[in-house]
Amino acid sequence: MTRTNTLNCFAIAIIVVLASSALTIAQTVSGELQQWHNVTLTFDGPEASEDGDPNPFTDFRLDVTFVHSETGLSYKVPGYFAADGDAANTSATSGNKWRAHLAPDHVGQWNYTVSFRKGKDVAVSDDGTAGEPVANVDGLKGTLEITATDKTGRDFRGKGRLDYVGKHHLKFAGSGEFFLKAGVDAPENLLAYDGFDGDFKSDGHKDKLVKNWEPHVQDWKDGDPSWKDGHGKGLIGAVNYLSSQGLNVFSFLTLNIEGDDRNVFPYTSYDERSRIDCSKMDQWEIVFSHGDKMGMYLHFKTLECENVNLLDNGEMGPQRALYYRELIARFGHHLAMNWNLGEEVGYVNKVSTEKKVAWANYFAKHDPYHHHIVIHNGNKHFDLLGDASALTGFSLQTSQVDFKHVHGSTLNYLRRSVAAGKPWVVACDEPGDAQHSLIPDAEDPTHDNPRKNALWGNIMAGGAGVEWYFGYKHAHSDLTCQDFRVREKMWQQSRIALDFFREQKIPFWNMSNANKLLLSDNGYCLADKGKLYLIFAKDASETSLDLTQADGVFEVHWFNPRTGGDVQTGSVEAVNGGGKFMIGQPPSDADKDWVAIVKPGTAGKTYSSFGAPAKEKRADPMTLSAMKDFKFVVGDGFVLGYIDKGRKALAINAAQHQNKFAAAEGKYKGKPGKYDLVLNALTETDGESTYRVLIAGKKIGEATNPETTKDYEVAAHRFDGVELKTGDTIRIEFSTTSNGKIPEGEAFAFSRGRWRSVQLLKPRK
């Protein structure tokens, strides 16, 4: 396939200049000369090669300054060595082509001036006079005439660049739309693809993890791009599939030389740090450009956690500057994207505030388009809030199998950023835990927890959306996935959420979290107070809203986040402002999750049913926390347990104690009486632990966890009619055990007897 075909019949213009008294073809302009499109300037410059001397990546610096004639808007765009100009197809490693990209945001005339200098390490110098001019190219000038875009639909070239605008959501500069995302954060090694050039496929570093994306070849369509006579169909097809499911983002590492995969890097070889593989980068660019057309936001994760100190020992030195410059030069023209400074930064290798600030500052200074800049939480990175850094947002990771901390963690970063004076855009890019997270449909066909706690949990906190991570204990994991279809039921539910906000014209960018307006703990509230209230009720059977500070009549409509469809009317048509009112029940399945839209009523309309005054909030059942209210029993044949802070539970170290019991005791301080006692234990796939409950030294019952395919789900063991007196000792004895199903070394893994709490409930009637 020729480069012209790859560019989908882009217009190509030849610009002729007079140089050295001879007529020389010095530059070409390719691409559709339209607003928001990639307009590419290619210059005939010095002959060079990837492994040559001088080094074309460090010892030449091409910059093109574009100025819009009417507004005076100016962009200084870095350029790069492009080998023969068609390296994606020819695999060329040498040539005389040098290239720069403009994504014009205004129609009309753009004038440009070229700076092209050579000299030792000039590419990583910010000194405009460093080196010396490259004859015949330095100083070139030209003009581009840009017309309006003709793109529509999902194609980002019809929407414009996605900008940070000082709010919690990004905004398209062309269409004015605000953006919510839902898509994939996995596999992290998406670019470890055998269709790309490079010896990473056979260099002895985790070669078995290289992908062919064969399951998605069927999704490639006639007219879609490929390279080298048909390469790339699997990965292009994968992008098509994600787009067809209504998703709008995919994520990928661009450097994982150290880490889990070790097959993704821009360099010519695994040990190289200053020479770029031109053909591989051009092939990446074909995939990313197709992503633009298919409405897919590009999440550039620039470093895996093990690599944060790989370049210049973490300093903002010449290796890192070259890496960042090449990313910006080759890919910075894309419209919807972010620069992520690194995955789990600080989790493996500690990084100082000064280093992180320097990384962010480089992108802020050298990216002409000022794309969104985030960092991923290996550490909490509160040191980067406000004016402390150039960050405009945060890439959140949580660690609970049930996703329940997504909402609270999102809120925490949003509120801290506002308090620091610069609202951050906070997306949850790895909800769930490392082992499981979003598991395949075959194992969890409903995906209730990810839907309720992660997807809607982030959005209803005021977050920017989610990217789904695939846990390593399951097939099609974060490293091995090549078929996105295995989680299609979750893609459908993600699309339903995005469609809801768009079709119902919910102004989420002007709304903020208002959970305090709910009179129960069964969900979330997002509100533009007095104007619009959005409630996500995990159990919609009894939902009340505080409208004390609102005036007038408010209509109540319901939306099903599980199946989508039209909004519906439930048992109550409207509620009055000025008080606290029940909003009724949805039209069906009231014990499931629903979204309620509470908005100002229609003038002159008569409503047949109004919500009744809210009932007083029922007191929570008395709960004793395993971590806070119980102490371990020492001796008496019991081993010593430990506090599992990550699971908020007590547990036993099964590596030291197998088929043993530990015990913990707490005091009952409530009123005497008869209660139903509920012990909340956690299931474990490697064993079914046993729990014994004793009151004042007397055993009142024993229970064993059920077999499970999911770790750390709550198993509630209920003991009815337990007599308790004030001051009674409640003892929980818990064991380690193995079911012989999970290999560990030369034996099998053991459960740790985890349990979280004891609840005391009114007896069942």
* DSSP at 487: G
Summarize pLDDT for 576-598 with one digit per residue, the tens. 999 999 999 999 999 999 999 99
CATH number of the domain bearing residue 131: 2.60.40.10
- The CATH number of residue 555's host domain is 2.60.40
Mean pLDDT value of segment 211-234:
98
| pLDDT one-digit tens code per residue, 601-615 | 998 899 999 999 987
Three-state secondary structure call for residue 731: strand
Q: Sign (positive/negative) of CA torsion 114, 118, 122, 128?
A: negative
Question: Mean pLDDT across the stretch 270-289?
Answer: 98
Whether 409 is covered by a domain: the verdict is yes
pLDDT at 75 over 70: yes
Q: At residue 4, does pLDDT exceed 80?
A: no
- pLDDT (0 to 100) of residue 2: 35
Find out whether 215 and 187 touch, Cβ atoms under 8 Å: no
Residues of the chain above pLDDT 70, percent: 96
606 part of a folded domain:
no
- 726 and 645: one domain? yes
Domain shared by 180 and 142, yes or no: no
544 lies in the same domain as 680: no
Q: pLDDT tens-digit profile of 202-211?
A: 999 999 999 9
Q: How many CA atoms lie within 13 A of 547 on its CB side?
A: 32
Burial of 1 (0-12, 13-18, 19+ CB in 10 A): middle
Residue 613 within a domain: no
pLDDT at 617: 53
Cα atoms in the Cβ-side hemisphere of radius 13 Å centred on 51: 5
- Domain range for 551 is 514-600
Does residue 155 lie in a domain region?
Answer: no
Please determine, for residue 21, whether its predicted confidence score (pLDDT) is greater than 60.
no
Assign residue 397 the CATH number of its domain.
3.20.20.80
> For 688-731, what is each residue's pLDDT tens digit?
999 999 999 999 999 999 998 889 999 999 999 999 999 999 99
Quote the strand ranges of 476-563, DSSP E: 512-513, 523-528, 532-537, 544-546, 553-559
Report the amino acid identity of residue 736. T
| Pair (31, 130) in one structural domain | yes
Residues 373 and 446 in one domain: yes
The answer for residues whose C-beta is within 8 angstroms of residue 104's C-beta and 6 or more apart is: 35, 36, 37, 39, 66, 68, 110, 144, 146
Q: What is the pLDDT of residue 26?
A: 61
Domain count, the chain: 4
DSSP string, 108-165: EEEEEEEEEEESTTGGG---TTSSEEPTTTTT-EEEEEEB-----TT-GGGT--EE--
In a domain, 543, yes or no: yes
Please check whether residue 100 lies inside any domain of the structure: yes
Q: Quick check: 112 pLDDT over 50?
A: yes
> Across-strand partners of 338?
299, 372
Give pLDDT, residue 622. Answer: 85
pLDDT exceeds 80 at position 765: no
Confidence of residue 20 (pLDDT cuts 50, 70, 90): very low
pTM to 2 decimal places: 0.82
The answer, yes or no, to whether residue 10 has pLDDT greater than 70, is: no
pLDDT over threshold 90, residue 77: yes
Q: What is the pLDDT of residue 517?
A: 96
| Phi, psi angles (nearest 5°) of residue 302 | -75, -20
The Cα–Cα gap between 743 and 725 comes to: 45
List 74's β-bridge partners, or say none. 67
* Nearest alpha-carbon partner for 300 in 235, 240, 253: 253
Two tokens, residue 643: 């506090």
Q: Which of 538, 565, 600 is a domain's end point?
A: 600
- 522 with 457, same domain: the answer is no
User: ∠755-760-763 over CA atoms, to 5°?
Assistant: 130
Helix (H) or strand (E) holding 76: strand 74-78
- The CATH number for 741's domain is 2.60.120.260
Are residues 297 and 403 part of one domain? yes
Quote the pLDDT of residue 454.
Answer: 98
- Find all residues with CB under 8 Å of 679, minimum gap 6, and list them: 691, 693, 703, 716, 717, 718, 719, 732, 755, 757, 758
**Residue ending a domain, choose from 459, 488, 508:** 508
Q: How confident is the model at residue 27 (pLDDT cuts 50, 70, 90)?
A: confident
Is there a domain that residue 607 lies in? no
pLDDT tens for residues 169-189? Answer: 999 999 999 999 999 999 999
Which of 508, 529, 548 delimits the end of a domain? 508
Please, what is the Cα angle at 734 between 728 and 737, to 5 degrees?
170
On whether the CB atoms of residues 346 and 99 are closer than 8 A, the answer is no
577/642 same-domain check: no
One domain for residues 398 and 503: yes
Are 114 and 230 in a shared domain?
Answer: no
Residue 183: count of CB within 10 angstroms of its CB? 25
Residue 17: pLDDT band by 50, 70, 90 thresholds? very low
- Per-residue pLDDT, averaged over 6-30, amounts to 48
Q: What is the pLDDT of residues 358-369, one digit of tens each?
A: 999 999 999 999
**Mean pLDDT in the chain?**
94
3-state SS, residue 627: helix
Residues 9 and 72 placed together within one structural domain of the fold:
yes
Residues 268 and 350 in one domain: yes
Domain-located, residue 14:
yes
